[in-house]
Structure 1
Amino acid sequence: MTEQLQLYDVTIIGGGPAGMYAAFYSGMRDLKTKLIDANEKLGGRMLIYPEKMIWDVGGVTPVLCEKLITQLEQQAQTFEPTIFLGQQIRDLEKQDDGTYLLETVTGEKHWTRTVILAIGRGILKMAKLELEGAERYEVSNLHYTVQELEPFRGKRVLISGGGNSAVDWANELEPIAEHVTVVHRRDQFGGHEKNIAKMNDSSVDVRTPYEVSQLYSSNGEMIDRVTLTHLETGVSEQLAVDAVIVNHGLKSDFSGIKDWGLSMDDWNVYVNAKLESNLPGVFAAGDFAYYDSKLNLIAGAFTDAALAVNSAKLYMDPEAPRMAYVSSHNERFKEKNKALGVVEE
């Protein structure tokens, strides 16, 4: 091991809600902590829908996803963990002393006693519209995510897709766009029932089973018409548009993590009640972790993160307390409370 390579107690791979909360809670356990994420920003999958309202985090009133990311990031940095962004982990090599050496696809190395995998669904990439020449419009009016609603005000918007995001975008854009059309290859939508009902009862023009079969541009720079084709009859029609939003799902890249010998299926690593994987010293949290009583909510990711950190602590020190003291009694918060002007009895 090279001398300049520092040994960390916990290295968290993934910067979504599970990873960020794990970084915070690891500080509560007084562990030397590192967080690594392949993206250039923290937030994980939440970065896809910054304009959505999040309602189901305990004790938090409805909050824009973008704001929740900011708050989670601030909390994650409470105990000043080392954070590396833009690094994609590929290899894991167990050392003779039981520690692990992690290596990125570009050759950076990280040395750690334990690993917490909080990688969600892996490195997510939007499934692209598979039509010739579609990529040329990505710089103008072909979109794969909605970062802001305002640019679509007064526009004729076509949404292609049938998942949660497509339905949500249709409902959010319907009040401000001139017209919203949704096309989906199947008659059934995959979103939440309440949101689908809201879309169907609104002015949104829902077309099923249809697909976008051709794009047209009068100036070669922006899409101004599309061809929609009925998948059962083969009948086509043209539709004038100002913007096209595509939500055909996500493609996932787990890099080399699937080659580590983890017990997993296509999407998840199997863990026990302590969030332990089948590899000693390797734990998981959030969407990537699967166990029988799994709760697939952001709130559940927080619990996963704390359990994984506690298990990592006990893995390194079996005599350590089973969990951190609550914040109201935790010594690590005394000075921080003073900085906030809180006088403790």
Structure 2
Amino acid sequence: MSNLYDVTIIGAGPVGLFTAFYSGLRSLKTKLIDAEPAVGGKIRHFYPEKIIRDIGGIPEIEGQQLVKNLHEQAQAFHPTIICGEQITKLTKQADGTFLIKAENGNYHYSKTVIIAAGSGTYEVNPLEVSGSETYTTSLFYDIKDVASFQDKTIVVSGGGNAAIDWAQALEPIAKEVHLVYRGENFKGHEERVKEMHDSTIHVHINHEITALQGNSTNLKSCIIHCNRNGSTTKIDTDAIVVNHGVKVNLGSMLDWGFDTSEYGILVNHEMETSVPGIYACGDICAYPRKMRIIAAGLHEGPIAINSAKNFLDPEADDVAMVSTHHESFSEV
């Protein structure tokens, strides 16, 4: 069957892209499928200009540049890449191969499957403040153009890594940046939290936005409420960046036969799911001490590929040769 692939990777975010590259190193016929119209996952959609700093050897890089680099790298061994197809069904056939059905009716066939679908489908948690629908042009759930905030007063709402990163990215550009967090202990990386406290960002812990003020179209200010003493403060602002997390949904994946938990698809140290021939890596998988950062997923993808390779050929080497020794990259 000419359309039968050795490996089909579901999800073309950073982890899926690098997994496709490593699959090529192992001489596996590879297909990559994503529901979004282009590769890149949540980075492409939410954080194209976010600076990423937690990948070894890359002091800092914009999200969109990282996606571009990974896309270029993934194409080194010419995998088939399909975007705009939501996978709705995965069935193991009598011969042990997998039938993969897309929402649009297309079918794909594969000997093994690696799920690198991030957190599944996602929907941002909105700012739940009365009247927020009036100021849609002043509320941002993702930032496509940091420069558009030049010399403006910005309020960032949230307490995780993404909120802290946006506040820090906007600090040198905006006139003033306020970070409002309803809790006290930030969920971000310790060093980034320390940097934020040492910056000019106005940090409001134990506060949350309770009211928006302005005219019929333009936001002028917001009211923040202190959860400790009940006091309120008015902040004049041009825009609010909301980062309250996302609602994630594994959707039909819950019916694909493998074991799951509230944190994702359960895997072992080989990235194997409970169904032989199906593996998972990146944010979608769950195991003890799991780290949901890109660097961890870039490690898990090759493990999944090596497991798939051994599943297909038990006599194959456990791991691939390093890329510098691969014939495709050797000097002629």
Aligned-pair CA distance for 1:217: 2.9
Is there any run of 5+ residues in structure 1 with no aligned partner, and where? none
Rounded to whole Å, the distance in 1 between the matches of 2:289 and 2:140 is 37
- The CA deviation at 1:300 is 2.8
Q: Does 2:197 align with 1:200? A: yes
Partner in structure 2 of residue 13 of structure 1 = 10
Q: 2:325 aligns with which of 329, 332, 340?
A: 329
Q: Is the 8 A contact 2:121 2:248 kept in 1?
A: yes
Q: Which has the larger displacement, 224-233 or 93-102? A: 224-233
Superposition map of 1:207-286 within 5 A: 207-218=204-215, 220-286=216-282
Match of 1:25 among 22, 26, 46: 22
Q: TM-score, normalised by structure 2?
A: 0.91
* CA-CA distance at 1:137 after TM superposition: 3.0
Secondary structure in structure 2 of the residue aligned to 1:177: coil
Distance 2:60 2:117 in 1: 25
Give the counterpart letter for 1:100 in structure 2: F
| Residue of structure 2 equivalent to 1:159 | 156
| Alpha-carbon distance in structure 1 between the residues aligned to 2:57 and 2:234 | 48
Q: Pick one of 81, 90, 100 that aligns with 2:79.
A: 81
In the alignment, is the contact (CA less than 8 A) between 1:88 and 1:255 conserved in 2?
Answer: no
Contact 2:33 2:83 in 1 (8 A): yes
In 2: Cα distance, 1:62 partner to 1:203 partner: 21
CA 1:107 to 1:235, structure 2 compared with 1: closer, same or farther past 3 Å?
A: farther
TM-score, normalising length: structure 1: 0.87
Change in CA separation of 1:133 and 1:167 when aligned onto 2, cut-off 3 Å: same
SS at match of 2:72: helix
Conserved 8 A contact 2:7-2:111: yes
Could you tell which deviates more after superposition, 280-289 or 296-305?
Answer: 296-305
Structure-2 separation of matches of 1:288 and 1:216 = 39
Equivalent position amino acid for 1:163 in 2: G
**In structure 2, distance between residues paired with 1:217 and 1:10:** 54
Per-residue CA distance 1:154-213 (angstroms, 9 max, x = gap): 111111111112122222222322221221111222112222222223332222322212
Contact 2:129–2:211 (Cα < 8 Å) also in 1: yes
Give the structure 1 partner of residue 116 of structure 2. Answer: 118
Evaluate the alpha carbon distance shift between residue 201 and residue 67 of structure 1 in structure 2; reply closer, same or farther with a 3 A threshold.
Answer: same
Distance 1:133 1:95, change over 3 A: farther
Distance apart, 1:100 and its partner CA: 1.3
Do the aligned residues in 2 keep the contact of 1:89 with 1:255 (CA within 8 Å)? no
Matched ranges for 1:90-109 at <5 A: 90-109=88-107
3-state SS of 1:146 partner:
coil
Q: 1:72 aligns with which of 66, 70, 73?
A: 70
Residue type at the aligned position of 1:330: H
Aligned length in residues:
331
Q: Identity of counterpart residues, as a percentage?
A: 41
Measured after TM superposition, the shift of residue 39 of structure 1 is 1.8
Residue identity matched to 2:78? E
Report the RMSD for the aligned CA atoms in angstroms.
2.3
Misfit runs of 4+, over 6 Å: none
